[in-house]
Structure 1
Amino acid sequence: MATLYRLLTEEDTSAFCHKVTDALAKGWELYGSPSYAFDAAKGVMRCAQAVTKTVEADYSPDMKLGQQ
């Protein structure tokens, strides 16, 4: 068994909400609070949310976390 970790990031648009919602629908769980920061290079606000998921498989760096 392994606990997987992902940090989802996106500009502050509905795309970020959809990315997090998709992960939750696939069994990932929120981990901690979301973050919000200004990206000066692009002049936009960015969001981040960590998620975790426990799976039956052993962890491998070759895993495609978004497909778990």
Structure 2
Amino acid sequence: MKIYRFLTEDDTSAFCHKVSEALSKGWELYGDPQYAFDQANGVMRAGQAVTKDVSEPYHKDMKLGAQ
């Protein structure tokens, strides 16, 4: 089955590292990255959806980051 995550972070190298780490663990990019201005904190935020095929069935308590 395929699982889904949406990674977010301030638009800095930390975001690139977060996505790169997910890719190194077998996650695949899904769609285009997204950007939005976080007015409350005065920063740009970035987001990227990723998916991964896993053998276990989905359950709501699954720790997606640990997959």
TM-score by length of 1: 0.96
- Which residue of structure 2 lines up, in the alignment, with residue 22 of structure 1? 21
- Which residue of structure 1 lines up, in the alignment, with residue 51 of structure 2? 52
Query: What displacement does 1:15 show?
Result: 0.4
| RMSD between superposed Cα atoms in Å | 0.4
Moved beyond 4 Å, runs of 4+ = none
Query: What displacement does 1:59 show?
Result: 0.5
Is 1:12 the counterpart of 2:11? The answer is yes
Q: Counterparts of 1:44 and 1:65 in 2: how far apart (Å)? A: 26
Query: What displacement does 1:39 show?
Result: 0.3
Q: Which runs of 5+ in 2 are unaligned?
A: none
Among all aligned residue pairs of Structure 1 and Structure 2, give the percentage whose two residues are the same amino acid. 69
Q: Counterparts of 1:4 and 1:54 in 2: how far apart (Å)? A: 6
- Which residue of structure 1 lines up, in the alignment, with residue 33 of structure 2? 34
